Structures are given as structure tokens and as C-alpha cells.
Amino acid sequence: MESILHGVEGYMYPNEMELQWSVLIVLYPFITGLVAGAFILASLERVFRVESVKPTYRLALLTALAFLLVAPLPLQLHLGHPERSLEMYLTPHTASAMAMFGFVYLWYLMAVLVLEIWLDYRRDIVRLAQTATGPLRYLYRAMTLGSYDVSEEALRVDDRAGYVITLIGIPSAFLLHGYVGFIFGSVKANPWWSTPLMPIVFLFSAIVSGIATVMLLYMAATRLRQATIDMRCLDTIARYLFYAFIIDFSLEMLDLVHRIYEADESFHTLDFMVKTRLYLPHIVVQIVLGTLVPLGLLALTQLVNLTERARRGTYALAGVLTLVGIFAMRWNVVIGGQLFSKSFLGYTTYKMAFATREGLLPAVLLMILPFVILWALVRLLPPWTDGREAETAA
Amino acid sequence: MNRDRRDFLAQSTKLLFLTGAAQLGFEALLRGEPEAAPNYKTTDHWWGMIIDIEKCIGCGNCVRACKEENDVPREPYYFRTWVERYHVPDGDIERPQVDSPNGGYDGFPEKYRAGDGAKSFFVPKMCNHCAHSPCVQVCPVGATFESPDGVVLVDPTYCLGCRYCVQACPYGCRYIDPRTHTVDKCSLCYHRITKGLTTACCEACPTEARVLGDLKDPKDPIHEFLRTHKVQVLKPQMATGSKTYYNGLDGSVR
Amino acid sequence: MKVLFGHKDHLVRMAALFLAGIVVFLVLKAVFVPKGFGVYGHYRAGALEENRAHPVAYAGRAACVECHSDVPETAKGGGHAFIRCEACHGPLAAHAGDPGEHQAVRPESKVLCARCHAPNVARPARFPQVDPAEHAGDEACTACHTAHNPRQQKEGAK
């Protein structure tokens, strides 16, 4: 009992001593956010014809797929009865914001990402099915679905279909992550979560984190491949990151100002929490280090003429800080929302375990996993368009 | 006492305490086959609860009885029902001091001084069996639900353990049972009230501070009580359709 | 393989794959949705009965007075008349079911009475409260008071 009461201050309802959602649930919106953001970056090229980001188009799609495959794992690991998760598909409760996740997820995975990647890669798949050796050959053959038609007419069909799918994909990506925001934003019992702004704040922070991830991956991958970076592409991505970040920051500030000005019954409690227990992750990491600094760095590259080298360094730093900031934002939403009592009279502490099912170790492994998957995907379906694919594919 | 007299007394006292359906249910209970209790039609009932703060003495009987009856974990810190002690200095309803040592299970050792300019009282808490339950709304699979007779129940064989309902309850009434990894909460002693018995907490309450009521039964005293008292539900701004009515609820209680 | 749909053949194949997936899903749904789900609402109907099947620990006053009919007589008119037996005596369904096998234990009055009657400022002011040590020293409450009717003094009480 003493260990449970440790870190509790003021009055909490007895059942509230234990935090319900752990660091794994922090990963869930973080990872789905990366998916949605990466996809939206990819669709910039496809739908909005931003030609300069073309070098990252396929990388962004594969990144989205790699992260999407991992997205349900933290949820699965967190469940008291993981073996019952199929019930979400069998008897989804339509009134539940969570029930539809399975369907939104499947829709997005199958109907959007897999289809779009397949259509875009079909010419490569057919070529690889005919040239590859070893067991991989069978995989490529399976992926052709037995159709080797890569005539100009067939590719035109693919391009048109891919365009339509991207068109559907953009609202789907918005849905996927706006929806994750709604899971939190619709909990009326929790004033830290309950705001109609939540889905849209989640969405824009998702776009920000996705763009930053693809930007960093592109920089890292070109360096690993010892290829030359396309600065026009990088500058454009950074510009979009800057724009999306401004919208995201404005929305978050709107939420904050609104809370402070309205100062409803929960205000004193939340205010105290932000100034004490959440001060480091919220004020220092999320707002200053993870938002204001990268915004300043990105603004600097827009205002001042920097050398390519300096710009690359600035982008890399801004990108990393952005991801740290967005992760802190997810942390502050998920964990912060459970640190205060719904009686508004007390606070508890989150004690993260290490090597338990919901501890730090599985969280770290789950964060590494998408990069492993991405590495495999890149080997399987090389996304590079600068004429070096032949050597990487072999 | 001879057998005949005992039987006669048993019959007459039974008539005193039980009527109609309740009595038939009770007989099935005594035969040791409670699940066979006949005559209980879910559509004929709509259960609610009255909690009279003016009568609660903070003895903790309800907390102990509930844990006993429903096999609630004693440790570490889970409760289907618990009692809070409020201490409101000088009518400052925004800053009450509240405590609930072990949920009130061991009673409340005296902590405040008489005449310190504050008012003190006990507030028993439990699931409010809301008619528009946020917990039922958010359950992704239908593992928690509102029964046709107005009781919010859990299906532990179907619960995923996603904990969304725990987040959604504004009153902190739900917990994850560490033994089953599924959610648990007050069932309004569904196994008792459907057999004509009252809940364990009401059974154990020495002052009738908690009284179970059937809102669909026109003869139930709950109607008279609600007519003659100024009652309130917890957190009315949550609009959960709570069916746990408090008499004498102070504005500081949340 | 024959090409049936011209240059859209591969799309048709993909569509067939999706269709197959949906069929598999529908089959799984038909097989695995538990029986009785959705009869009364979005839940397993059997869960109602399972909730009812939980064993009873508190027998209820009616069961007690079946045998102990003298107690209500004693309590009549007193401050404890409306208190249900198991409020003080604890859960006794097992005892009611088989009194020979399961003995009821008489509660310790010094502990029991204080639970309700020890002074506490949070208790309603009109509720009778007394400091047991001050009031009776080491003496058991039941030395003077009849537990079932406490205003009734026992013979020989001071």
C-alpha cells in the first residue's frame, strides 16, 4: 500500500492511484502520427504536384508502411487480454471511439498504403520477379499477382488508379490521426483531454512529425548510400515542415490561451500540474526545446541565406528537436492526462518500469522495430530514383 | 424452540420483510440454487440508489461488506465502494480537504478538532449506474453494458482490458482487477437484487444511509424519498444520467 | 494465365484478393461472434445470468430471523431495531445455509461498538457518540448495554 501511495499528493479517488495508460499508449499516437505525416508528405508530390519533393515520394510511402505495421503493437501489448483483440472486429461497439480503430487501421493499411505502394512499384516488382534470384524471387512473383503486364497502357492505368487512391488517401490519413485525437478529445471526464481541438492538434502535430521523420531519413539514407542530397528537395521539405509547424503551434497556443482565459473548474488543478509535475516535459521539452527552438531554426533558414552545409545542419537539428517535441507532446497528453485526480484535489506520479510488459524496454524496442522494417522494405523495394537502384536491389 | 413454532415465525417474518417476487426468489436462494430464482423480469425494474449524507457515520461497514460479498481485492487499493471524509474550512467549497484512508475500510480515525470553524461529513461513493454511462459508451467491444433493469455491468469473459472505460468514468469507480486483468466495478450486487435481496452495502449499513430503490416499482419508498428531499447527483455537469441520488450533498463534493 | 480484362487485369486480380479478404472476415465473424450477442443490446446476453450466478455472502435479515426470531422482539422500539443483523455480525449466508457446519462468531463489543459510536467530528452531531475508555474503562459495552437494544440496561448495571 505504501508503495502505491508514494508520489500521491492531495486527494485522489482510491481507484485512481494506478495510471491506466503507460508509455506504450504514448507510442501509439506518436507512431500513427508519423504514418499520417509521412503519407501526407508523399501525397504532396502526387496530388499537389510539388515536383521538388519527388526524391522522397517512395521513401515516405515505405516509411508510412513501416510505422503503420508497428502502430497496433503497443496497443496489443498493453491489453489485459491481447488474445481477445479480435473482438474489436467481430463486435465493434459503434458508439465507442476506440472500436472503429481496427477498421480505420485496416482501411488505411490495405486500401491506401499497400495499394498505392503496389501500384507505384508494379513495374519494379515485375522486373524483379523476372531478374531476382533466390527465395526472394517467389516473393516478388507473389506480389505480381500473376500479372506481368507493364505495358505503357497498363502503367497509365496504374498511374490513374494511384492518383485516385492518393486522393482518397489524404482524407484517410486525416481520418486516421484525427481519429486518434478524437479517442482522447472525446473523454468528457478528463478536462486535460476533452477539447474539440484535440483531433486537429493531433493531426497537425502528426504532419509535423511525419515530415520531420522523412526529412531526417532522407538525409541519413543519402549519406549512407554516399549519394548526393537533392538540396532543392530538402529545402522544400523544410519549408513545408515550417508551415505545418506554425499551424500546429498556433492551434496548441489557441488551446492554451482558451484554457487560461476560460479558467473553468479544472483550471487550478491543471495549471498547478503544468507548473510542477509537467513543467519539464511540457514547458521545457515540448514548448521551448521541441517547438520554439526548431521553429526559430527553420525561420532562420527562411530569412537568412545560409550555405548548403549550414542549412543541412540546421535542418537536421530542427528535425531532431521537432521529433523530441512531438514525442513530449504525446507524453504530456497521455501521461499528463492521468497525473491529476478527476476530483481535482490531488496528483499522482507515473512510475515507469523497465523490463516489464509495459516498461521502457519494450517501448524502446517498439521504436526501433519500424526502422528495421523500413530497412527490410527498402531492400525489398528500393525507393531511390537517382539511377542507383540496380546496385542496392541486388 | 420447537420446529413448528420456528416455521410459523419464519413464515410470518418472511411476510414482514419480503413481498411477492422477492419471496419466491428468496426461497430459491434458500434451496441453494439462487440462479433458478424465478419471477425476476428485467423489464419490470429500474434500479437506483439513495445515499443520505446526513445519516452516514463513516463506520466503513459498506466498504468491508462490499469487498466480502464481491471478492474485491483487499490490496493494493481497489474499491467498488468507498467512503470519503470531507472537511470544508469556513464554507470554502472550492478547497475542501478530503481523505479516504484505505477507502474507509478501517473506519476513520479522528483527525479534526471539533469547533475548528470547519464542517465535516462523510460521503459514500460507488458506481452511479448512469443511464447514459460514459463507460458503456466507450467500451469498444460491448464488454460493459447497461442491463435492461438499469444496472451497469461488466462481462469479464469478454473484456479486453483496454482500460478506456476506466478513463471515461468521471467518478473513479472502475479498476482493473490484477488477478483477471479485466475491468471490475460495482455491480449493484446484481446477484442479490435480482433475488429479492438488497445490496451488501445496504445490508451492512447500520444507519440506512444507503438504500436501494426500484424506480419502476410505484410502491418502492424511493419515490417518497425523492419527493420529500432535495437530492443531487455527483457531477451533474457530466450529464451521465446518474441514478445514485444524494441527500444533503454539499457543493464541495466532487 | 489468360488475360481477361486487358490492361486492367492486374487491378481485377487485386480486387479479387480484397474480395476474398472480406469473405474471410465475414466467415470469421459468423463463426466467432459469441452466442446471444446483441439479444438485449450490444453485449453477450449470457453475461446477465453470469452476473446473477455470483454466490451470496450476506444472507439478509429475513434469513436470520427465520431461526433467531427472538432478536427482533428484543430490539423492538430500541435504537438498533432497524439495523440489519449482518451489519454487526458480518456475512452469514454460509451459516444460514448450514448452521451446524458454519458457526457464527459473536463480535467483540469493545471493537464493534466503537466503530459507530466513537466520537468523530465528521459524524452527524445528533448521532450518539461516546469515548469508550472514558465512559467505561476496560469494561465491555455489553456488560451494561443490551447489544440489540442499547438503552435497555442489563440487570446489575451501574
- Let me know if residue A213 belongs to a domain: yes
pLDDT given at position A385: 74
pLDDT given at position A393: 40
Query: Does the domain at residues B40-130+187-247 carry the CATH identifier 3.30.70.20?
Result: yes
pLDDT given at position A1: 53
Calculate mean pLDDT across residues A51-74: 95
The pLDDT tens digits of the residues spanning A228-284 come to 999 999 999 999 999 999 999 999 999 999 999 999 999 999 999 999 999 999 999
Q: Which three cell numbers stand for residue C81?
A: 431495531
Taking the C-alpha atoms of residue A270 and residue A337, their distance in angstroms, rounded to an integer, is 9
- Let me know if residue A46 belongs to a domain: yes
Residue of B nearest to A185 (CA): B168
Rounded (10°) angle between helices B3-17 and B20-30: 140
Task: Report CB contact under 8 Å: B171, A344.
Answer: no
pLDDT band with cut points at 50, 70 and 90 for residue B17: very low
pLDDT at B35 over 70: no
If residue A318 lies in a helix (H) or strand (E), which one and from where to where?
helix A308-334
pLDDT given at position B19: 42
Task: Report CB contact under 8 Å: C65, B17.
Answer: yes
Best CA proximity match to A183, nearest among A112, A100, A69, A248: A100
φ, ψ dihedrals at B238, nearest 5°: -80, -15
Chains that touch C (3 or more CB pairs under 8 A): A, B
- Let me know if residue A56 belongs to a domain: yes
Contact residues, chain C, for A111 at CB < 8 Å: 18
The pLDDT tens digits of the residues spanning C115-127 come to 999 999 999 999 9
Residue type present at position B198: T
- Let me know if residue A382 belongs to a domain: yes
Taking the C-alpha atoms of residue B123 and residue B172, their distance in angstroms, rounded to an integer, is 14
The CATH number that applies at residue A174 is: 1.20.1630
- Let me know if residue A165 belongs to a domain: yes
pLDDT at B3 over 60: no
pLDDT band with cut points at 50, 70 and 90 for residue B10: very low
B96 close to A (CB below 8 A): yes
Q: Are B31 and C98 in contact (CB under 8 A)?
A: no
Task: Report CB contact under 8 Å: A345, B175.
Answer: no
Could you tell me which residues come within 8 angstroms of residue C30 by beta carbon, excluding any fewer than 6 positions away?
A: none
Q: Which three cell numbers stand for residue B78?
A: 481497489
Contact residues, chain A, for C11 at CB < 8 Å: 157, 161
- Let me know if residue A277 belongs to a domain: no
A205 close to B (CB below 8 A): no
**Chain A interface mutation, best of C5, C10, C43, highest count of A Cβ atoms under 10 Å:** C10
Domain that holds residue A123: 23-238+356-393
DSSP assigned state of C91: -
pLDDT at B4 over 60: no
B86 close to C (CB below 8 A): yes
The pLDDT tens digits of the residues spanning C87-101 come to 999 999 999 999 999
A269 close to B (CB below 8 A): no
The residue length of chain A stands at 394
Residue in B29, B107, B155 nearest the CB of C56: B29
In this structure, of A76-85, C54-63, C137-146, the range with the lowest mean pLDDT score is C137-146
pLDDT band with cut points at 50, 70 and 90 for residue A45: confident
Contact residues, chain A, for C34 at CB < 8 Å: 91
pLDDT at B178 over 50: yes
Calculate mean pLDDT across residues A371-377: 97
Grid look-up 501525397 returns A43
Q: Is the ipTM of this complex over 0.95?
A: no
Domain count for chain A, please give it. 1
